Amino acid sequence: MSTRTVLHEADIARALTRISHEILESNKGPDGLVLLGIPTRGVALARRIAALIGQIAATELGGSSIPVGALDVTMYRDDLHRNPTRTPQPTQIPAGGIDGKVVVLVDDVLFSGRSIRSALDALQDIGRPAAVRLATLVDRGHRELPIRPDFVGKNLPSSRDERVNVRLADVDGVDEVTIES
């Protein structure tokens, strides 16, 4: 098995900064935004993006803090029969809720699209956002559902038998994206 690093710490920082600017531009500012990370690494990415948006907004728009939460999709997945060992994580919705807000779902890797479909199902049980957007650090293709990210850090074409690993300092002690083949 060989492993190669495709994104280093500086690459991840640049990608998250770009995603943050794109989210602000798309939303025409920080008002009404809520970021929901999909555990585990999506939550860490959502917090980083919210902090970056806060910094950008403070500099350019007079400041604003972006509500961040976590959206566990475990019980909404359609593959629990194949992988029953998933441990549910807490869902944490910011105090203002999601009704009427622009919710940006944040995940580390977009692959088949099934996690995002599960997230959309979970959102229905929580409230009714004005719009839902998707931000992902890595889009590796191989979609099984008609799901497309709005904000992408890196498009990383890969074969189905390769494994894309995202490691983040908040969770793993290091920032990197690797491919194992």
Q: What DSSP assignment string belongs to 116-161?
A: HHHHHHHHHHH---SEEEEEEEEE----SSS---SEEEEE----TT
Average pLDDT over residues 82-92: 78
The pLDDT assigned to 59 comes to: 75
Q: Where does 38-114 show beta strands of DSSP type E?
A: 68-70, 102-110
Q: Is residue 103 part of a domain?
A: yes
Instruction: Please state at what angle helix 9-27 crosses helix 41-56, rounded to 10 degrees.
Output: 60
Q: How many structural domains comprise the chain?
A: 1
Residue 13 tokens read as: 């920082």
The whole domain housing 29 covers 7-76+88-158
- Of 133, 103, 125, 91, nearest in space to 34 by CA: 103
The pLDDT assigned to 84 comes to: 62
Separation between Cα atoms, residue 112 and residue 99, nearest integer Å = 28
- Of 118, 105, 124, 111, nearest in space to 37 by CA: 105
Q: Is the pLDDT of residue 57 over 90?
A: no
The pLDDT assigned to 30 comes to: 93
Q: Is residue 82 part of a domain?
A: no
Q: Are strands 68-70 and 33-37 parallel, antiparallel or unpaired?
A: parallel
Q: Is residue 179 part of a domain?
A: no
Q: Is the pLDDT of residue 127 over 70?
A: yes
Q: Is the pLDDT of residue 162 over 80?
A: yes
Q: Is residue 172 part of a domain?
A: no
Q: Is the pLDDT of residue 61 over 70?
A: no
Minimum mean pLDDT among 61-70, 120-129, 138-147: which range? 61-70
CATH number of domain containing 48: 3.40.50.2020
Q: pLDDT category, 47, cuts 50, 70, 90?
A: very high
The pLDDT assigned to 88 comes to: 84
Q: Is residue 145 part of a domain?
A: yes
Q: Is the pLDDT of residue 60 over 70?
A: no
SS3 labels along 73-88: CHHHCCCCCCCCCCCC
Check whether the bond before 40 is cis (ω within 30° of 0): yes
Q: Is residue 153 part of a domain?
A: yes
Q: Is the pLDDT of residue 95 over 90?
A: yes
Q: Is residue 37 part of a domain?
A: yes
Residues 6+ positions from 15 with CB-CB distance below 8 Å:
7, 137, 153, 154
Q: Is residue 173 part of a domain?
A: no
The pLDDT assigned to 79 comes to: 75
